[in-house]
Chains A and B, each alone.
Chain A
Amino acid sequence: MSGQNSVLINGRVIDPLSGIDEICEIHIRDGRIAAGPSSGEEVIDLAGKWVVPGLIDMHVHLREPGEEYKETIASGCRAAAAGGFTAVACMPNTHPVNDNATTTRFIVSRAEGCAARVWPIGAISTGLAGEKLAEMGEMKREGAVAVSDDGRPVVNSQLMRRAMEYAASHALPVISHSEDLALSRGGCMNEGALSTRMGLQGIPAAAEAVMVEREILLAELTGARVHIAHVSTCQSVELIRLAKEQGLTVTGESAPHYFTLTEDAVQGYNTNAKMSPPLRSKADREAIIAALAEGVLDVIATDHAPHSILEKENEFASAANGITGLETSLPLTLRLVRSGALSVKRMVELMSCNPAQILGVPGGSLAVGEVADITVIDPDVQWTFRAAESLSKGKNSPFDGMEMEGRAVMTFLAGECVSSGSIE
């Protein structure tokens, strides 16, 4: 069932959970990390490379079932492996919505044999309609690891309260897409001087923070585990900081585009820089970088949202939200490491250890006996990201043509090399 037994030598192994950051060997036997050599090991020399627990992207949209022209579970997993991810958690806004055990089972079955592990996230409410709780217990039994109505907020506060209570009974974290729809209505970019100049209706930063605060108050009320998706503003960061100081089980994520770009990227009505929440100001961007470093935010997740040109080559106001992210996430995060904003160890926590821990899934560790999900990173390789060459079906990336430094060069899934980038 598993690949070749092998030993990774000469690589710099960074395994935050065991406190290791040194050049050492990693033995792989029968798909797991082994304590010592086994006969017939293949020797893989990784001099100059980093060896880290397989990266986990806890926020992607794989579009299957229903929108296979945008992405399939298989194509999304290929893009994940190429980007260094050994596991992804997929949001339930498919067609049909993943709000029932049958759809969860379908996703799990379609993921078999793919290049990455797929952890389904079930819906909070049936049809994402925000009216009635979805059957979370049954979805969990089929493999769901969290619940979310991502793409839409749960408008009804009472339903969100019940969702948190019920999810807690099934030990499922609740992932919140925090957006006050009345405040964001009609908006398509960050509200500010630029939206005024471009004649586009803005979404105030408060539209996010208002809802983040509601989720925090409900987390306090219910004791549930709440994870705030795609944090984009400094106000949200401050609210999460306070919640953590209070000792609440609130975690948060942000995406590479929020710490790499600002609203300036939408100039020229670039729909590949349109997403929800929108790109914000420079101050927000800096606050997010600091929050990732300081531990206020726990996770870097991409919100990988492939679309075709049908949704994107469009009037800006009516173009679809979302950009792809699986193949650009690691190189963009490496920029923060190079600038000194993040340590290598912190990067691994944000991209592997913490998502594994929040979702309660295997991985995030290179300890003996763990699954051999391993990402090998060449931190120095120079390359250019070309959206057209992406393994994702979605080519909607604002990073098309960007010069990158560093990337995943090998991705091991249960000991088997599922992606080896060009190691030249």
Chain B
Amino acid sequence: MNAGKEETLKQKSYSFSHHSIFGIEQLSAEDIRHILATAASFREIAARPVKKVPTLRGKTVINLFFEASTRTRTSFEIAAKRMSADTFNINASTSSTTKGETLIDTTRNLQAMAPDIIIVRHSAAGVPELLGRHVDASIVNAGDGAHEHPSQALLDMMTVMEHKGHIDGLKIAIIGDISHSRVALSDFIGFTRMGAKISVAGPQTYLPLGVEQFGVEVCSSVADAVKDADVVITLRIQLERQNDSLIPSLREYSRFYGINREILKGAKDDVIVMHPGPVNRGVELNPDVADGGRSVILDQVANGVAVRMALLYLVHGGERKEKVQGEKP
């Protein structure tokens, strides 16, 4: 009884304290659980005939994308609009901002227009932190180089929760280009923090030095990694890296590292297959799996909106602000 009481007290005393989301790295397991619970409560809004709540009315959200993106940008935009925020999309090409001061200038100009939240994607790692040093707005990282993609990891975790009921103790196989994947990095940190075991496989050219630091098991074959897995996540092969001689050919890659129905036989019977999208069909994922019963890729997309709604809601300080206002007459 007492323990239960303490638990309740503890839960009550929790408050989300992050002004910006630069990565999963900064989030505790408690933060992650709170984000996922908040996202789950937003999930049903998508099922309503009028898909809009007034939570962020009057707030300005800027989508600052220095790198091409359709689904992540759209997902953030839908999330913001469903919460009644005013959203603006800025697609800045990195080529026009080759010098850093232009990037800082762009951001300072945006700051002058007093946005509440800036969602940023950039091909260089660390840009969200850099911007965070120059603006008052909350920053939400929508992917920075090969560093982090926190909203993707959160929607991955939400999808796993939905299908498995828990994350703790699951075996999650992550297959493919780990070296250049911000999704992999954020997934490593997030899933291990939530108690899952991760095994990875891919050609050594796709495995970065020191990947063991994340507490993941490096397997010598996809079959080993997938064996008894509850979840298989395949990563997108970045076709633009073809000239870097990381793999001899897509054909060979698909043969040794592609996920197909056959290789999934070694996994648990109720294994689910995820992919951050967009899928190179027939390369990292065979169409029979991508469109098969084990694929939960479209659930990921739906959860993406809910997770992003939760992030926007939490960083703009909805909870905290109300509290502060309540305290100060």
Known A200-B125, A268-B129: A314·B100 in contact at CB below 8 Å: yes
In the complex, how many angstroms separate the beta carbon of B99 from the nearest chain A beta carbon?
A: 7
**Complex partner residue of B125 from A199, A310, A311, A312, CB under 8 angstroms:** A199
Known A198-B126, A199-B145, A199-B185: A319·B213 in contact at CB below 8 Å: no
Measured as residues with beta carbon below 8 angstroms from the partner, the interface class of chain B is: 20 to 34
In the complex, how many angstroms separate the beta carbon of B4 from the nearest chain A beta carbon?
A: 38
> Contact between A310 and B99 (Cβ–Cβ < 8 Å)?
yes
**Interface 0/1 of A31-52, CB less than 8 Å to B:** 0000000000000000000000
Is A196's CB within 8 Å of the partner chain B? yes
Interface centre among A194, A199, A269, A310 (most CB of B within 10 A): A199
Is A412's CB within 8 Å of the partner chain B? no
**Complex partner residue of B146 from A193, A194, A201, CB under 8 angstroms:** A201
**Complex partner residue of B213 from A196, A199, A202, A311, CB under 8 angstroms:** A196
Known A269-B126, A269-B129, A310-B99: A199·B146 in contact at CB below 8 Å: yes
> Contact between B124 and A310 (Cβ–Cβ < 8 Å)?
no
> Contact between B209 and A202 (Cβ–Cβ < 8 Å)?
yes
Report the bound CA distance from A318 to B97 in whole Å.
11
Is B121's CB within 8 Å of the partner chain A? no
**Complex partner residue of A314 from B101, B185, B211, CB under 8 angstroms:** B101
CB-nearest residue of chain B relative to A199?
Answer: B147
- Which chain B residues numbered 160 to 195 have a C-beta less than 8 Å away from chain A? 182, 185
> Contact between B125 and A317 (Cβ–Cβ < 8 Å)?
yes
Is A403's CB within 8 Å of the partner chain B? no
Is A191's CB within 8 Å of the partner chain B? yes
> Contact between A198 and B209 (Cβ–Cβ < 8 Å)?
no
- Which chain A residues numbered 307 to 339 have a C-beta less than 8 Å away from chain B? 309-319
In the complex, how many angstroms separate the beta carbon of A259 from the nearest chain B beta carbon?
A: 23
- Which of chain B's residues have a CB closer than 8 A to the CB of A311? 100
Report the bound CA distance from A199 to B146 in whole Å.
4
- Which of chain B's residues have a CB closer than 8 A to the CB of A199? 125-126, 144-148, 182, 185
Is A143's CB within 8 Å of the partner chain B? no
Known A310-B100, A313-B104, A314-B103: A193·B210 in contact at CB below 8 Å: yes
Is B127's CB within 8 Å of the partner chain A? yes
Known A201-B146, A269-B126: A315·B185 in contact at CB below 8 Å: no
- Which chain B residues numbered 84 to 127 have a C-beta less than 8 Å away from chain A? 98-101, 103-104, 122, 124-127
Known A198-B147, A201-B146, A269-B129: A318·B100 in contact at CB below 8 Å: yes
Report the bound CA distance from A313 to B108 in whole Å.
13
Report the bound CA distance from A192 to B212 in whole Å.
11
> Contact between B125 and A198 (Cβ–Cβ < 8 Å)?
yes
- Which of chain B's residues have a CB closer than 8 A to the CB of A193? 209-210, 213
Is A272's CB within 8 Å of the partner chain B? no
Report the bound CA distance from A268 to B101 in whole Å.
18
Report the bound CA distance from A319 to B125 in whole Å.
12
Is B130's CB within 8 Å of the partner chain A? yes
Report the bound CA distance from A200 to B210 in whole Å.
13
Measured as residues with beta carbon below 8 angstroms from the partner, the interface class of chain A is: 20 to 34
> Contact between B122 and A196 (Cβ–Cβ < 8 Å)?
no
Interface centre among B125, B126, B209 (most CB of A within 10 A): B126
- Which of chain B's residues have a CB closer than 8 A to the CB of A191? 209
- Which chain B residues numbered 202 to 258 have a C-beta less than 8 Å away from chain A? 208-211, 213
Is A195's CB within 8 Å of the partner chain B? yes
In the complex, how many angstroms separate the beta carbon of B206 from the nearest chain A beta carbon?
A: 12
In the complex, how many angstroms separate the beta carbon of B240 from the nearest chain A beta carbon?
A: 13
In the complex, how many angstroms separate the beta carbon of B300 from the nearest chain A beta carbon?
A: 22
**Complex partner residue of B126 from A202, A310, A313, A316, CB under 8 angstroms:** A316
> Contact between B100 and A200 (Cβ–Cβ < 8 Å)?
no
Report the bound CA distance from A311 to B146 in whole Å.
22
In the complex, how many angstroms separate the beta carbon of B128 from the nearest chain A beta carbon?
A: 10
Interface centre among B98, B124, B185 (most CB of A within 10 A): B124
**Complex partner residue of A197 from B103, B130, B185, CB under 8 angstroms:** B185
- Which of chain B's residues have a CB closer than 8 A to the CB of A195? 208-210
Known A197-B213, A268-B129, A269-B125: A317·B208 in contact at CB below 8 Å: no
In the complex, how many angstroms separate the beta carbon of B70 from the nearest chain A beta carbon?
A: 22
- Which of chain A's residues have a CB closer than 8 A to the CB of B129? 268-269
CB-nearest residue of chain A relative to B149?
Answer: A199
**Interface 0/1 of A208-231, CB less than 8 Å to B:** 000000000000000000000000
> Contact between A196 and B125 (Cβ–Cβ < 8 Å)?
no
Report the bound CA distance from A309 to B99 in whole Å.
11
Report the bound CA distance from A313 to B107 in whole Å.
13
The 9 closest A-B pairs by CB, nearest first: A314-B100, A199-B147, A193-B210, A269-B126, A315-B124, A199-B125, A196-B208, A199-B146, A193-B213
A residues within 8 Å of B by Cβ?
191-202, 268-269, 309-319
Interchain residue pairs with CB less than 8 A apart (9): A192-B210, A197-B210, A200-B125, A310-B101, A314-B104, A315-B126, A315-B130, A317-B125, A318-B98
Beyond the given A199-B145, A314-B104, A315-B126, please list 5 additional residue pairs across the A-B interface where CB-CB is below 8 A: A197-B210, A202-B209, A310-B99, A315-B127, A317-B124
B residues within 8 Å of A by Cβ?
98-101, 103-104, 122, 124-127, 129-130, 144-148, 182, 185, 208-211, 213
